A and B are shown apart, each in its own frame.
Chain A
Amino acid sequence: MVGAVLLRGSFMAPQFCPALDAEGALGAARLAAAWIENNQLADGTYVYEYRLEDNADLGGYNVVRHAGVTMSLFQLAAGGDLSVLPAADRGLGWMNRNLYRNSGWVALQNPADGGVQLGSSALMLAGVMQRRFATGDTRYDELARSLARGLLALQLPDGAFLNRWNTAANSPVPGERSKYATGEAFWALTLMHRAFPGEGWDRPARLTADYLALHRDDVEQQKYPPWADQWAAYGLGEMATWPLEEHQVEYARRLAERFGLLVRVESQRRDNRLSKLIHGRQARAAGMGTWVEGLTSLHRLAAIDPRMSDLEGKIAERVACGAGMLAARQYTPADASEFEDPVSVEGAWFTEGITRMDDQQHALSGLLFSAPIIQGVKPE
């Protein structure tokens, strides 16, 4: 009996997946986008961190996250909501004004310190691609190619990427890799192949897919492999019709297992002290959103590739659970009306009283792509 009580309080704590329909998921995604729009500054940047308790803009900025937030708005536009394009274009405009130009390629540069980071350019490129898919507008095609060439300037022969370009030395910074940026660059290259199928962008993408599937966790010494990389999942989902090689499918399955576990564990967490003590703090939206993003991409793969089809139903369950938790934890307009500055609150997710712009980014993307899965629409 004591054992049963202990189990119930720990590993067998009840899982709670709030119900959410497709309309609710899209509504929550739009509300997240509204927070991003409402908290965009005149120069195209966004409020980076905001504290609820004293209505404080905490300042600070991160260029990679700027590119990511802007990209998520373009994803929503590509999903059919073109109303976010003006805000997304302002975000893109800020990036266009901060380009580093080298011979034959460009990269997004941090105006604060001059740094050129792989992830910034990769997510800027992904955003430009989403804009193209949303509008059919080809005006940024050359920019996209230049950005993609900039990514390749950092690619190593084994498919991995170095994380920074040293502008003074005009060469990559050796030895530094990023557990985020390699997947971001990989995904951006797969999008390039979708937009420009005859230009050979699939070759470097496949090389990186192999690195991610076979070597990354060892080379980059991931403690608990596989690294839960939703960017890699995006890329694999994009490659579903290429199709994937066997070891890439195996990697995709391991990613699905990892994201599934993370969602299951999260569904056992509650916002109270006892749960925090036993199960840890509830994940922030920027974390949970990435799990749902990863699962939605892998769901596409499972729906298309018969080698993953046995996971399709379970992945859909986890997507619905993760999206339900996200929607349930979002601050609605009614919640926001109780605070001093509702515009800084509604549509956001707060962890210990603070929201960061990428909370909205990842939750937006996850909710957006979960809607058709919840509705039971088969991916194309």
Chain B
Amino acid sequence: MTDFLRIAATLFVAISPAAAAVAAANVPARLAPRVVVLGAAVAAAAYVAAALGADLLLDAVDIEPETFRVSAGLVMAVGGLFAVWTGGAGHAGSWEDRWTALFPLALPVLVSPAGLAATISHSADGDTGAVIGAAMIVVALAAAAVLARFGRFGAAADGIARVSGALLVVFAGAMIVDGVRAV
């Protein structure tokens, strides 16, 4: 597996378009496309900022990338277990607000702690370009999933979200082991 595919797979289960779709199922009426696009743009910007600022951030908090990998794995594992448990993406409450694009769509549905942790960790390991590329693709997929409103296919989305959560736990475990085993 190439680095890009590995990172894309990690971000796919960490951001989890299916979980975003499940969370968006609580919206009483279809979200306006411009709201979804705006939310996705904010999320994309957050991931780009996290990727570009990863080294600065870790320097500021005096953490080596290898050590952060372990912490990122823990955050991802918690996110994965949450997804397995709920099938959703970190927000089960109301979507009735004028700032819906920002909250809850961008944060925490599209910008999840697990997604951010994975982004920072991979970027700090020197894969910034691949991280940004993969994050853009996955955020776009998640936005499309939110926009699609699966309706009667909601149960399928829920199942995929839980499977994604389980995969996230596996990826998180690998990341923790990798961090522990790094020089």
Contact, CB under 8 Å: A12 / B64? no
From A14, which residue of chain B is reached at the shortest CB distance? B62
Contact with A along B50-79 (1 / 0, CB 8 A): 000000000001111011101100110010
Contact, CB under 8 Å: A314 / B183? yes
From A7, which residue of chain B is reached at the shortest CB distance? B71
Q: Which of B70, B181, B182 contacts A11 (CB 8 A)?
A: B70
Report the count of interface residues on B (CB-CB < 8 A).
Answer: 17
Whether a CB of chain A sits under 8 angstroms from the CB of B180 is: yes
Find residues 277-328 in chain A having any chain B CB closer than 8 Å to their own CB: 311, 314-315, 318
Find residues 10-55 in chain B having any chain A CB closer than 8 Å to their own CB: none
Counting chain A CB atoms within 10 Å of each CB, which of B62, B68, B180 scores highest?
B62
Which residues of B sit under 8 angstroms from A14, Cβ to Cβ? 61-63
Q: Which of A12, A257, A268 contacts B182 (CB 8 A)?
A: A257
Contact with B along A1-17 (1 / 0, CB 8 A): 00100011001101110
Contact, CB under 8 Å: B182 / A15? no
Whether a CB of chain B sits under 8 angstroms from the CB of A260 is: yes
Contact, CB under 8 Å: B63 / A12? yes
Contact with B along A238-264 (1 / 0, CB 8 A): 000000000000000010110111001
Which residues of B sit under 8 angstroms from A259, Cβ to Cβ? 183
A241 vs B134: C-alpha distance when bound (angstroms): 42
Contact, CB under 8 Å: A261 / B180? yes
Decide: A261 near B61, CB < 8 A? Known: A7-B71, A7-B75, A15-B67. Answer: no
Which residues of A sit under 8 angstroms from B71, Cβ to Cβ? 7, 11-12
Contact, CB under 8 Å: B70 / A15? no
Decide: A260 near B61, CB < 8 A? Known: A7-B75, A12-B71. Answer: no
Contact, CB under 8 Å: A311 / B183? yes
Nearest CB of chain A from residue B182's CB, rounded to whole Å: 6
Contact, CB under 8 Å: A3 / B183? no
Which residues of B sit under 8 angstroms from A3, Cβ to Cβ? 75, 78, 113
Contact, CB under 8 Å: A12 / B61? yes
Q: Which of B62, B68, B181 contacts A16 (CB 8 A)?
A: B62
Which residues of A sit under 8 angstroms from B74, Cβ to Cβ? 7, 11
A3 vs B113: C-alpha distance when bound (angstroms): 10
Q: Which of A15, A314, A315 contacts B63 (CB 8 A)?
A: A15
12 pairs of residues in contact across A and B, judged by CB atoms under 8 Å: A7-B74, A7-B75, A11-B74, A12-B67, A14-B63, A15-B63, A15-B67, A256-B183, A257-B181, A259-B183, A260-B183, A318-B183
Q: B interface vs A, CB < 8 Å?
A: 61-64, 66-68, 70-71, 74-75, 78, 113, 180-183
Q: A interface vs B, CB < 8 Å?
A: 3, 7-8, 11-12, 14-16, 254, 256-257, 259-261, 264, 268, 311, 314-315, 318
Q: Top 3 A-B pairs ranked by shortest CB distance?
A: A260-B183, A14-B62, A314-B183
